[in-house]
Amino acid sequence: MAALSLGVASCGHASPSALDPHGPGSARIAGLWWFMFSVSAAVVVFVGAVILVGILPRRRRRHLDTDATPTWAKNLVVGGGVVFPVVVLSVLWVLTLHDMQALSSPPGRARLEVIVEGYQWWWKVQYPQLGIVTANDIHIPTGQPVRIRLVTHDVIHSFWVPQLTGKTDLISGKVNSTWVETDTPGVYRGQCAEYCGLQHANMIFYVVAQARPDFDAWAARERQGAAPPATSDLLRGQDVFLTSPCESCHTIRGTPAHGTLGPDLTHFGSRLTIGAGAAPNNPGTLGGWIIDSQGVKPGNKMPPIELPARDLQALIDWLESLK
Ligand code: CUA
């Protein structure tokens, strides 16, 4: 858990860059980007040099006094204005098509499948083969491609993990597909990349890549329902949850709470953030979120929950205990 916290802390400070690839998909995209950048830079330098030569003052030559266009100028227009761009753009186009084709399916068979469903403004994450439902953190094992199926509950969103894969849209009535793979355990920040309303910028998620044994341990824990409250304070917290509006919107497996409007909170305590990246997950931010989530993330669907201080503290303690 300490490693995960460190990971999200560093992610919070450094922006994830598509030019810092950590997987075969993003490496291919970064390679294409650098090639396009080099070609574009060479073209800019070449055109700039031609313009410079053209505007430099020099002696009028006699033949320029006539209307006849010199042959070298015709060649420059045809060669530099038609042939050269057609060749350069064709090469870039073919390379792009080739990479798009290569990116459409993973290099090996993707045995694990994750369904990611976009909501305004959070991500429901399901593992149909493992019987897991969670939100906003997508755990994957390292060293193998993972298939991601993308659907949306409402408007169009876009799934983007710059360090692992390019953007794929989530479109109503359609199941889109992408994949992620990395050999390096770590926390990779993802972001909705299609404007989807007020909190588009706060529709963040994290891909948590773990070595196989760690991933298996996470999955085994995640499959279970919430543990029964171990202390009277935690029991009080659970009672507060079940007698407040919370339970009508959230599911916590192992309790009677089966709401589906908001994220499943069965293992909320182990999540990295609150409100899909709106705040780090700790007791302080959770308290602020419960009493005034509209102040933290205006426009989200959660109403303010007013509670006596002792009840609020017990609720926070219980939710954070759901590891
Ligand atoms: Cu979802 Cu932008």
For residue 192 and ligand 1, the question of a CB distance below 6 A is answered with yes
Which numbered atom of ligand 1 lies nearest the CA of 157?
1
pTM: 0.87
Q: Nearest Cα to 255, choosing from 232, 237, 275, 281? A: 237
Which numbered atom of ligand 1 lies nearest the CA of 120?
1
Which numbered atom of ligand 1 lies nearest the CA of 170?
1
Structure tokens at 211: 């070595």
* Residues across the chain: 323
Where is average pLDDT lowest: 7-16, 151-160, 214-223, 294-303? 7-16
For residue 200 and ligand 1, the question of a CB distance below 6 A is answered with yes
For residue 157 and ligand 1, the question of a CB distance below 6 A is answered with yes
Mean pLDDT confidence for 177-195: 96
- Which band of pLDDT confidence, cut at 50, 70 and 90, is reported for residue 59? low
Measured CA to CA, the distance from residue 262 to residue 265 in angstroms comes to 9
Helix (H, G, I), strand (E, B) or coil at 232: helix
Mean pLDDT confidence for 230-253: 95
Q: How distant, in Å, are the alpha carbons of 98, 208, 319 from that of 182?
A: 21, 10, 31
Structure tokens at 255: 């309790």
Convert the pLDDT of each residue in 95-153 to its tens digit.
Answer: 999 999 989 888 888 999 999 999 999 999 999 999 999 999 999 999 999 999 999 99
- Which band of pLDDT confidence, cut at 50, 70 and 90, is reported for residue 54? confident
Which numbered atom of ligand 1 lies nearest the CA of 155?
1
For residue 167 and ligand 1, the question of a CB distance below 6 A is answered with no
pLDDT number for residue 61: 60
pLDDT number for residue 1: 41
Give, using CA atoms, the residue closest to atom 1 of ligand 1. 157
